[in-house]
A and B are shown apart, each in its own frame.
Chain A
């Protein structure tokens, strides 16, 4: 009974709404994720994107994370043989922590002895049986075969592939880094990937410490996006109905909604922010306004779509051939399926790599959790 109650509580807020949305207009449930942004000119979209990319990787300096990392390092250095020598830092989507670990952590530990070595994890090997050798090469390139060092793996999901050969690289990482007390390993990954690895490998056994990237509050998002708002002189929408409902100013209301919908995640918040920008009216295209941010509804997904999307959640970005390997499908079949999902903008393609559209990320996780995939809907 308690289990039934728990499942009902998980399903009711989103499952019922999704179901009713589907009943209401099943073919039109997929709103275009950036329909307001589509009203902007291409130049405006490019300028806005550049402005956001120039912002710091994380809205606030994640001091809590850095101090926890330093505490773990001190404990390890004091007694390398008996202390925990690895740390997993989780964020959903995983790219949020990957950016921080790739660029921001090293300066924080600047001057630290032993040396901090960042492993390049921007892309995976083309073939699953080459992942291990590529990792070995990269570890040697950064000099991680030294006596004592701190190895940072910004995105662990790029270091393996869900295939029979693709998991061998995890064995290699385990033997080379985690089982070696002279090396301290810091790994960034998505909670979905962490849960998966906990089942299929012994990684979680060796890495008993895990931290989560703190979720962003409304005021933190407000401070982070202020430079862009000032640069483009963005105004906040003044909806009179909402004004009466709450005592908050339009600005406060906007950022509270943004924080709630993005679940405190910077990547999702960034896309929601972009999506909510639109010209005040057709006659004043230069004057931009921030409407109420809204997460688009998921389109109707087939069972095969769920398997594909779960694989993308697991691995972050991946090529079509890696996806085919992970799913055990042929490329032509998968190409057609991926094309359909790209058209509904659930997945995006950057060069030859596919990834989940951040705007659909929160609802997709909940949907997959309700469809019996190994996802905690709170992730």
Chain B
């Protein structure tokens, strides 16, 4: 009996709390009507269509303006998407929730707890994406290396970016990677990205002639951006001499075509001057000699 006397107030207070919670929830949630649901669906549809239209419009425009403006036009795309999503989200919140200061605090507190646990990685990526818009570790049109993936950033979404790799694959990488991984960006918003081409010669190669040919090859390529420097550097290796030709194409998109052009014309010049390539047989005989003497 005495237990019941203690339990009854508890039960009553629990009931009161539940009633208060229900009343609070009612207070926060606006009345959900069929009209509001329809409007919500229309808002979502409009936002989706707006994003599709802006995507296509901005990419179409970027391919038609002069090359100098191409990347700058494309870099508007994630900002435009963010604005559309924010406007749609704000409209939906206004539609279904009675927003005042108290309700807002209650909602954000609840949302923070729920999202923190359930959508931890997603939220991390979304926040990283917003940071990325302003910090710009990568932008649309940039050629980046993230982990094992290299390619041109062709899309900047809410959750991640899309990379188009040299073999025409599209890789989606969550923005959250920028918290923990290094992002190697080759051009940082510029049209040009340095291309490094390696050439291998025997030790006895005529160094001055080789350097002259490599500079000429770069200066006479139709793809070379002459506003940026061309450089030839050398390294001595056990098997021979390594030459690296560092230069920039007019458009970073032509990176691989440019490299092919440099190599094909350089090899023609090397053949005319009979420049010696490293000889593998020498390496093998050297290796045999070393093991025999041991």
Contact = CB atoms under 8 A, between A and B. Distances in A.
Contact of B217 (A19, A164, A199): A164
Contacts of A373: 250
A174 to B, nearest CB: 14
Contact of B68 (A7, A162, A166, A195): A7
Interface in B33-75: 64-69
Given A196-B226, A199-B219, A199-B226, A371 B67 contact: yes
A328 interface: yes
A328 B69 contact: no
B269 A164 contact: yes
Interface in B208-224: 213, 216-217, 219-223
A19 B220 contact: no
Contacts of A310: 222
Nearest to A201: B219
B265 interface: yes
B49 to A, nearest CB: 22
Interface in A321-337: 326-328
A371 to B, nearest CB: 4
A371 B68 contact: yes
Interface string B198-216: 0000000000000001001
A36 to B, nearest CB: 30
Interface residues of A, number: 28
A325 to B, nearest CB: 9
Given A164-B213, A164-B269, A200-B226, A370 B68 contact: yes
Contacts of A328: 221-222, 261, 264-265
A307 B251 CA distance: 12
A167 B222 contact: no
B175 to A, nearest CB: 27
Given A164-B269, A167-B216, A328-B261, A307 B68 contact: no
B191 interface: yes
Tier of interface size on chain B = 20 to 34
B251 to A, nearest CB: 7
A11 interface: yes
A307 B268 CA distance: 21
Interface in B94-110: none
Contacts of A115: none
Nearest to A129: B272
A15 interface: yes
B215 to A, nearest CB: 8
Most buried by A among B220, B221, B225: B220
A164 B67 contact: no
A200 B251 contact: no
B222 A327 contact: yes
A11 B68 contact: yes
Interface of B: 64-69, 191-192, 213, 216-217, 219-223, 225-227, 250-251, 261, 264-265, 268-269
Interface of A: 7, 11, 15, 19, 22, 162-167, 195-196, 199-200, 303, 307, 310-311, 326-328, 367, 370-374
9 contacts: A15-B66, A195-B226, A196-B226, A199-B219, A303-B251, A310-B222, A326-B220, A326-B222, A372-B192
